[in-house]
């Protein structure tokens, strides 16, 4: 959301961010010099929050609102109804819209369209029978394709107290249930049987940090696990890895996979969400059935045994991202979609 906002601002649009007060996200937005509206968000229908949003919409002449979660959709959607102007778009990076009356009312009455980043989410939504094809727009994630070239790996290892050991296998993302870090640890235990010098990087932070560390201790692999926490600059850490794993139970179009591929790293991922829209199996990465720990272990071991295969897959992965998932393409498509919706609404009101 912040990357998209920055891109739209560069193209001449006025962009504001609203969110939960004291949140890390809103802090990042303020650091990037965006106007921010901190909100004390509690319920989905808080009159105080809705009133504050109505005032802000009118004062700043807001014409389009993009809401990231269902609670945001309800609050912003109601505020927009009372303010009488903005288009409201729901951005679903994960399949968070469910097939029941509550969501049907919300999305049919309060929302003008949905942006999702993967065909798999759109196809799921269309099976509900109450959303039209043109109501859901698929716009793939884009990332900056600039690649750091002056990485000092010795300094990097010293910074994070990493030993001079190989191979290095990483997982990137928030430490939450969805990412299934316990499966990553079980794969790590299996690999350590053949590669006892291997080290495993866990990059990210979240509420399950202590549980993950405890599980690594119970598996007797804690000495090989390095929990690096949340990092602002992650591309260098991808470069440090030989292989990157994705063990999520659910995904949209994961930026982690895009970033690892851009850095020329082979990814072994569970085939969930839009992963197969990024990875052409065996060519620019490897997919395995969801939660198949045995097969993920075997495919990772195969890559470890073949530096040539890792290099070939990584090279193809990098080129694939550079061709298809640039930040410019994403920003242009989002801008076109949002301005088109606003123009259509204006015509209906005349």
Shared domain check, 173 and 63? no
Q: What is the mean pLDDT of residues 42-68?
A: 94
Min mean pLDDT across 301-305, 307-311, 334-338, 344-348 is at 344-348
Position 209 in a domain: yes
* Residue 147 belongs to some domain of the structure: no
Residues 76 and 211 both lie in one domain: no
Residue 31 lies in a domain: yes
Assess whether 159 and 305 both reside in one domain.
yes
Q: How confident is the model at residue 205 (pLDDT cuts 50, 70, 90)?
A: very high
Q: Where in the sequence is the domain holding 68, given as residue range(s)?
A: 2-142+327-349
Q: Is the dihedral of CA 318, 319, 324, 326 positive or negative?
A: positive
Q: Give residue 316's pLDDT.
A: 97
Please give the DSSP secondary-structure letter assigned to residue 292: -
**What CATH number does the domain containing 312 carry?**
3.40.50.2000
What pLDDT does residue 27 have?
95
136 and 160 in a single domain? The answer is no
Contact 227, 213 (CB under 8 A): yes
In this prediction, residue 221 carries a pLDDT of 98
Do 13 and 131 have their domain in common?
yes
∠ CA 206-71-35, nearest 5°, is 80
Are both 179 and 222 inside the same structural domain?
yes
Share of the chain above pLDDT 90, in %: 92
The 10s digit of each residue's pLDDT in 311-331 is 999 999 999 999 999 999 999
pLDDT given for residue 281 in this prediction:
80
110 neighbors 78 (Cβ within 8 angstroms):
yes
Average pLDDT over residues 326-340: 96
Residue 12 lies in a domain: yes
* 148 assigned to some structural domain: no
Instruction: Kindly tell me if the per-residue pLDDT of 293 is higher than 60.
Output: yes
Place 44 in a pLDDT band, splitting at 50, 70 and 90.
Answer: confident
The reported pLDDT for the residue numbered 12 is: 96
Same domain, 289 and 338: no
> Are 86 and 41 contained in the same domain?
yes
Please state the domain count of the chain.
Answer: 2
Residue 137 has pLDDT above 90, yes or no: yes
pLDDT at 350: 57
Percentage of residues of the chain with pLDDT beyond 70: 99
Same domain assignment for residues 111 and 17 = yes
pLDDT at 309 over 80: yes
The per-residue pLDDT for range 148-184, each reduced to its tens digit, is 888 999 999 999 999 999 999 999 999 999 999 999 9
DSSP E strand boundaries for the chain: 17-20, 36-39, 64-67, 87-92, 113-116, 136-138, 168-172, 199-203, 225-229, 243-246, 267-270, 286-288
Angle between helices 307-324 and 293-305 (to 10 degrees): 110
pLDDT category at 282 given cuts 50, 70, 90 is confident
Same domain, 297 and 335: no
Kindly tell me if the per-residue pLDDT of 349 is higher than 80: no
Let me know: does 297 contact 190? Beta carbons within 8 Å.
Answer: yes
- At 244 the pLDDT is 98
| DSSP string computed for 161-177 | T--S-S-EEEEES-SSG
pLDDT at residue 234 greater than cutoff 90 = yes
- Please tell me the predicted confidence (pLDDT) of residue 46: 92
Measure the CA–CA gap between 11 and 13, rounded to whole angstroms: 6
Average pLDDT, the chain: 95
Question: Do 101 and 182 have their domain in common?
Answer: no
Average of per-residue pLDDT across 274-301: 96
- Residues 264, 310 within the same domain: yes
334: which residues sit within 8 A by CB, 6+ positions away? Answer: 4, 7, 8, 115, 139
Q: What is the model's pLDDT at position 106?
A: 93
What does the pLDDT look like over 12-34, one tens digit per residue? 999 999 999 989 999 999 999 99
pLDDT digits (tens, 9 = 90+) for 81-113: 999 879 999 999 989 999 999 999 999 999 999
């Amino acid at each position: 959301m912040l990357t998209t906002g920055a891109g739209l601002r560069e193209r001449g649009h006025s962009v504001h961010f609203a969110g939960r007060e004291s949140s890390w996200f809103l802090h990042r937005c303020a650091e990037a010099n965006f106007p921010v509206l901190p909100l004390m968000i509690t319920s989905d229908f808080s009159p105080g929050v809705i009133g504050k949003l109505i005032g802000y919409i009118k004062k700043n002449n807001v014409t389009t609102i993009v809401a990231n979660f269902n609670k945001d959709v309800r609050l912003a959607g109601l505020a927009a109804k009372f303010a009488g102007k903005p288009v409201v778009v729901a951005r679903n990076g994960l399949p968070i819209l469910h097939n029941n009356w509550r969501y049907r009312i919300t999305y049919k009455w309060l929302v003008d369209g949905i942006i999702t980043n993967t065909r798999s989410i759109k196809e799921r939504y269309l099976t509900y029978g109450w959303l039209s094809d043109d109501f859901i727009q698929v716009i793939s994630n884009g990332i900056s394709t600039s690649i750091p070239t002056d990485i000092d790996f010795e300094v990097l290892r010293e910074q994070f107290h990493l030993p001079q050991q190989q191979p290095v296998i990483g997982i990137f993302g928030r430490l939450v249930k969805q990412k299934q870090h316990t499966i990553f640890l079980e794969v790590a235990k299996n690999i350590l049987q053949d590669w006892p010098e291997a080290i495993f990087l866990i990059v990210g932070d979240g509420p399950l940090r202590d549980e993950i560390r405890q599980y690594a201790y119970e598996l007797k692999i804690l000495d090989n696990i390095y929990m690096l926490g949340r990092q602002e600059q992650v591309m260098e850490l991808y470069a440090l890895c030989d292989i990157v794993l994705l063990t999520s139970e659910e995904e949209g179009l994961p930026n982690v996979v895009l970033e690892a591929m851009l850095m020329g790293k082979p990814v072994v991922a569970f085939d969930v969400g839009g992963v197969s829209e990024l990875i052409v199996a065996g060519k620019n990465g490897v997919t395995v059935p969801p939660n198949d720990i045995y097969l993920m272990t075997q495919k990772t071991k195969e890559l470890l045994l073949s530096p040539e295969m890792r290099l070939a897959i990584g090279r193809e992965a990098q080129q694939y991202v550079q061709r298809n998932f640039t930040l410019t393409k994403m920003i242009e498509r989002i801008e076109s979609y949002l301005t088109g919706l606003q123009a259509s609404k204006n015509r209906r009101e005349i």
